[in-house]
Amino acid sequence: MWCKVLFNSTPFIIFLCVVLILIWLIRKRDYQYTILLLASYYFYYFSTGLFLLSLLLFTSSLDFYVGKKIYEANNKRIKKYFLILSLISNLGILAFFKYTNFAIDSVNDLLILFGFNSQLPILNIILPIGISFYTFQTMSYTLDVYFGKLKPVDSFLRYMLYVAFFPQLVAGPILRAADFLPQLGKNILFSYTNLKFGLTLVGWGIVKKVVFADNIAPLVNVIFESPTELNSFLIILGAIGFGIQIYCDFSGYSDIAIGVAKTFGFTLPLNFNKPYFSKNPAEFWKRWHISLSTWLKDYLYIPLGGNRKGKNRTDFNLMTTMVLGGLWHGASWNFVIWGAYQGILLTLHKFFSRIKSISGIFIFKGIGALIITQYFVFLGWLIFRIRDVSDLWYSIKKFILIDFSLNGLSILEANKLSLIFILIFLYVHYISYKNKDVIERIKSLDLRYWFVYVVIIVLLLLLFAPSKTSEFIYFQF
């Protein structure tokens, strides 16, 4: 199924060019959207198959219908009934496909713990690609209609396109109906500016994924394949390497998605904004996976009460939101622990903020705040990456209690290219942080200079693309 890794492959370029040409030839708005919807469903079909495509269609149909019923209902009880129908259906489908086997595994572990020999059978369930993303999109639509923030859309075609728009379908950014649906009210008109901006982002996103993430991955994989024999330096290096890998992988996908959408004239929300220059945990979540963190804030944290019901309730709401946000990432206890860890960091940050009168003692600023924040961010990546409990506990101890052993340093000799790209990334990330709007500047270059950028991108891919690239990390979520 080649569409599963399409963004960083030749078939995707062919697919995209065909869709662009078809829409350029067909000038009537509804026909353009029909072509784009069919292309999106074609894209998803070859990623998952007919059954899971029908699941996407069912989810879209349900929430389109529910949104209308909520809006038309005359009393709050009926509105709530349809909202509950939407939430139970969406969360039920998500829970079945994503968490059933996790629940079975957990029950089996408990049975073993209490001395039972019988085991529940693991079910043969295929996780639909992108289900976590499009489920959140359809839920946000019905919630916005329910709370009176949005009028339901009249066109089923446009609603289906909002849910299934292929650039962001399988790994975000998570779209809000209020942001995207208004963009579907006019013809798709191609412009030189949009094409240039879109291709600039697509090129940079592919470099992030293929040149940086995929070349750093071998070092990360060999370190965490068996970390219990390694020293602190390698464990810390593995955490830094994975933090860079997942950033380049996921933000690279987001850049490609935003860039492809821009070639059609659509604007998708920014999903990453230099997260490794955050100076506290709250700032990190304003810069990392922005579409998810704002979704969790608006549809979970604030409805739970946010910070309106006292500090104890605020801490509880933060912890609940982050634990569920961790579980959203995957059906594994390490994601639950990672979510709880992030919740603790945010709670501690709020605690120290409350006592800012003595901030000179307890709260670091400037470069000190940056270093401390990133120390805990990269410690957290160990929890995210390592699923084996004994390996995780060993790695955390080595990360915190630094030893000076030289054990395992031969790994560096075999992965020099990965080390080089880690160092290059740190430099490029710093330069892009200090020089704001680098992509904006590049896309604004005269055409002859912009072609130099394109040539550099092509040369980087030809020279440094590994022989075998991996699929995007967030496809599993």
**Structural domain boundaries of the chain?**
2-189, 194-476
350 in Cβ contact with 316 (< 8 Å): no
Higher pLDDT, 62 or 12: 62
Residue 364 is predicted with a pLDDT of 63
Q: Residue 283 above 80 pLDDT?
A: yes
For residue 461, the number of C-alpha atoms closer than 13 Å in the C-beta half-sphere is 19
pLDDT category of residue 3 using cuts at 50, 70 and 90: very low
Rounded Cα gap, residues 317 and 323, in angstroms: 10
CA 281 to chain centre: 18
**CA 313, CA 318: separation in Å to the nearest integer?**
9
CA dist list (Å): 410 to 222, 231, 327, 384, 457: 11, 12, 36, 26, 32
Q: What is the pLDDT of residue 106?
A: 86
Instruction: Give the separation between CA 282 and CA 343, rounded to whole angstroms.
Output: 10
Active site residue 429: no
What digits encode the pLDDT tens for the residues 393-411?
Answer: 999 999 999 887 777 778 8
Instruction: Calculate ∠ Cα 123-128-129, nearest 5°.
Output: 140
φ/ψ (deg, to 5) at 181? -60, -40
Q: What is the pLDDT of residues 350-377, one digit of tens each?
A: 888 777 655 445 556 778 889 999 999 9
Q: Which of 289, 329, 349, 429 is catalytic?
A: 329
Please list, in sequence order, all residues whose beta carbon lies within 8 angstroms of the beta carbon of residue 335, skipping any fewer than 6 positions away: 326, 327, 329, 384
Query: Residue 341's closest CA among 326, 363, 362, 354?
Result: 326
Is 163:137 a contact under the CB 8 Å cutoff?
A: yes
pTM of the model: 0.91
Average of per-residue pLDDT values in the chain = 88
Q: What is the pLDDT of residue 356?
A: 64
Residue-wise pLDDT for 116-157, tens only, equals 777 888 888 888 888 989 999 999 999 999 999 999 999 999
Confidence of residue 8 (pLDDT cuts 50, 70, 90): low
| 165, 229 Cβ separation under 8 angstroms | no
Give how far Cα 110 sits from Cα of 104, 390, 408, Å: 10, 18, 36
Q: pLDDT (tens digit, 9 = 90+) per residue, 212-250?
A: 999 999 999 999 998 888 899 999 999 999 999 999 999
Q: What angle do CA 20, 272, 59 make, to 5 degrees?
A: 60
**pLDDT of the residue at 409:** 76
Q: How far apart are CA 473 and CA 330, in angstroms?
A: 11
